Amino acid sequence: DMQISAKKFEEIRKLIGDKGSVDGAEFDNTKWWNDYIFRKGPGVSMTKDEFVESLAEAYQKDKAAFRQEMERCFGDIAKFVTENMDRPIQEQEFAFGFKVFGQEDAGQVAKAFQLFTAAYGQPTVQQIVDAWVQFITDDDQSKQDMIKEAFGN
C-alpha cells in the first residue's frame, strides 16, 4: 500500500542519516508508485495477481525494455538512499531495506546478506540493485541469483 510505503521510506531516511544522499533528495513515493506499480495508470489499483501478470506481459513483450524499466525502478530507490552507488551497506541497513519491501523473515534476510558478503565482501548499493534487477529480469539459470536463493520464487 502506498501510504505504508511512504512511511517506510521516511524510516529509511532516518536510519541512513548522513550516509544518505548528500543533496537530501526526497523520494517521490507517489511518482514511483505511478511509474512502476500502478501499471494500469496513475492511481489505478491492482490486485497482486494483476500486478504480477502485468510484469510478465511487459517482460514477454520486450525483455530489453523491461530490464531498462526495472533498472530505473530500483535505481530510483537507490538514489533516495545514496548518490554513491559504490557505498557499502551495513547489515542493519540491508535488513531494514529488505523489510521495507516486505521481506519480514529475518532468517531469509540474514541468508541473503550472507550470500552477498560471500560474493562481494561488504555489498554495495549497486550490487544489491543489480541483484534485484537480475532476479526480476534474467532467465539465465546458469547465473547465481542471490535473491532467489535467499527468498525462493
Cα–Cα distances in Å, from 146 out to 94, 112, 131, 143, 152?
A: 14, 7, 7, 9, 10
Q: Is 19 exposed, middle or buried (0-12, 13-18, 19+ CB in 10 A)?
A: middle
Cα–Cα distances in Å, from 78 out to 86, 97, 117?
A: 11, 10, 19
| Helix/strand/coil for 51 | helix
Full-model pTM: 0.80
pLDDT single digits (tens) 106-130: 999 999 999 999 999 999 989 999 9
Contact 94, 116 (CB under 8 A): yes
The better pLDDT of the pair 65, 141 is held by 65
Query: What average pLDDT does the segment 133-141 reach?
Result: 91
Of 39, 43, 80, 44, the C-alpha closest to 59 is 39
pLDDT single digits (tens) 73-85: 988 888 777 778 8
pLDDT at 22: 45
Rounded CA gap, 108 and 101, in Å? Answer: 13
Using 50, 70 and 90 to split pLDDT, how confident is the model at 24? very low
pLDDT single digits (tens) 33-47: 889 988 888 888 889
Using 50, 70 and 90 to split pLDDT, how confident is the model at 145? very high
Architecture of domain 2-151: Orthogonal Bundle (1.10)
pLDDT at 58: 95
High-pLDDT (> 90) share of the chain, %? 41
Domain ranges of the chain: 2-151
Which three three-digit cell numbers place residue 9? Answer: 521510506
| Helix/strand/coil for 42 | coil
